[in-house]
Amino acid sequence: MSSVEYALDSGAIFPRDAQAAASHRRASVDAPFLAAVRGEKPSRRPIWMMRQAGRSLPEYRAVRKDVGMLEACFDADLVAEITMQPVRRHDADAAILFSDIVVPLKAAGVDLDIVPGRGPVVSNPIQTIDAVRGLPIVEREQLDPIVQGIGGILGELRADQVLIGFAGAPFTVASYLVEGGPSKNHEVTKSLMYSHPDIWHALMRQLTPTIVRFLQMQVEAGVDAIQLFDSWAGYLTARDYRQFVAPYTAEIFQAIKPYGVPMIHFGVGTGELLGEMAIVGPDVVGVDWRVPMDAAAARVKAALEHAHPTAKPEVKAKALQGNLDPAVLFAGEDVVTEHIRRINAEADRAIERGQARGHIFNLGHGVLPNTDPDAITRAFEEVHRS
């Protein structure tokens, strides 16, 4: 691969050398995570958990004492330490970069903070075309602490462990900006989307280069895979997703694809959107706990066959990630074991039928704050035994 260029409307994405970026990655090609993505038989079933680096760990609470969330996200030493804590404790097959979806916005100069007990809060919500035009696009040097943190992580991971970078997808990031913070119903977001589609599309076009640049920076710093979180996409209909979201999400995946790293797409409550989310271009589709893995695989396969009827068979199936209900970790070891084995059997059936390429075990959302860390470790051990 040689240099690639993406001409987004803002002109913010400039040529990057994907081949040079690949030279920074140090994970073995046989790492279980990477083998599963390719559809090969991994040496063990890979597992990592969303929010595995978080409030469930006493060591996390210790290093975060008196340190704000965003302050920690821009401290290279803390980024590396917090990312590695669950990997050391649970023998995870993948580390997920400690960060937050609003980090690139904060780095670019957007006035926002992460308020304990509430989440990201934006001082001046974006609801007019002038506000959209004034939204800054992140510069690479503004992300230097994250680059340095990635370097610290790579020096500690084993060759069979991968580092996953991530970013928030445009719809979810836009929702925080429009609502001014978390929302239960996203009524302000949807109202803007429906009544002022010109403003909505302008906002999505303005956000896309920042998200691409944030992911490019992580890949160029050496991450082995990326995950694009569309946490709130489950509030949309399939028609709305196709019209208001899919073109921008697809553009992001298209921009990262030449780097050759696996790309995961995940959202909460997106059972009815799994096919749409597969079509936009990821290699792996994340599944929350509401849909059985084999049913999810069938939905994804059907959507891909409809979208690409003449494509090669490998294009018509994706690897799947998921999908233990986080609450099950509170139910005792026997119950956790039962659910893990059920999920693995569902995924294996999908693979045998040619409806999925591989399986990466994960939760159907994130680790809950009060989860017993030992219960998490035992879950990792059970998955590795299966």
| For residues 86-103, average pLDDT | 97
The residue among 217 and 3 whose pLDDT is bigger is 217
User: Is residue 100 annotated as part of the catalytic site, yes or no?
Assistant: yes
Q: According to the annotation, is 100 in a ligand binding site?
A: yes
Tell whether the model's pLDDT for residue 164 goes beyond 80. yes
Q: Which of 17, 100, 113, 144 is catalytic?
A: 100
User: Is residue 25 annotated as part of the catalytic site, yes or no?
Assistant: no
Domain span at residue 209 reads: 3-385
pLDDT, one tens digit per residue, over 256-313 is 999 999 999 999 999 999 999 999 999 999 999 999 999 999 999 999 999 998 887 7
Distance of CA 2 to the CA centre of its chain: 26
* Model pTM score: 0.94
| For residues 143-168, average pLDDT | 97
Q: Which of 38, 44, 64, 140 is catalytic?
A: 64
CATH of the domain at 302: 3.20.20.210
pLDDT, one tens digit per residue, over 20-44 is 676 667 889 999 999 999 999 999 9
Note the pLDDT of residue 134.
Answer: 96
User: Is residue 64 annotated as part of the catalytic site, yes or no?
Assistant: yes
Residues 6+ apart with CB under 8 A from 143: 104, 107, 213, 214, 217
Note the pLDDT of residue 11.
Answer: 41
| For residues 175-196, average pLDDT | 95
In the chain, how many domains are there? 1
CA–CA separation, 312 and 310 (whole Å): 7
User: Is residue 176 annotated as part of the catalytic site, yes or no?
Assistant: yes
Q: Which of 16, 25, 89, 176 is catalytic?
A: 176
Q: According to the annotation, is 176 in a ligand binding site?
A: yes
Q: According to the annotation, is 231 in a ligand binding site?
A: yes
Type of residue at 364? G
Q: According to the annotation, is 288 in a ligand binding site?
A: no
Q: According to the annotation, is 349 in a ligand binding site?
A: no
Q: Spell 95-107 as b/e; 16+ CB within 10 A means b.
A: bbbbbbbbbbbbb
Q: According to the annotation, is 357 in a ligand binding site?
A: no
CA–CA separation, 303 and 308 (whole Å): 8
Alpha-carbon dihedral 212, 215, 221, 225, rounded to 10 degrees: -140
Q: Spell 190-229 as b/e; 16+ CB within 10 A means b.
A: bebbeeeeebbbbbbbbbbbbbbbbbbbbbbbbbbbbbbb
Average pLDDT over all residues of the chain: 93
Q: Which of 38, 44, 55, 140 is catalytic?
A: 55
Model confidence at 251, pLDDT cuts 50, 70, 90, reads very high
Q: According to the annotation, is 55 in a ligand binding site?
A: yes
Q: Which of 51, 242, 290, 341 is catalytic?
A: 51
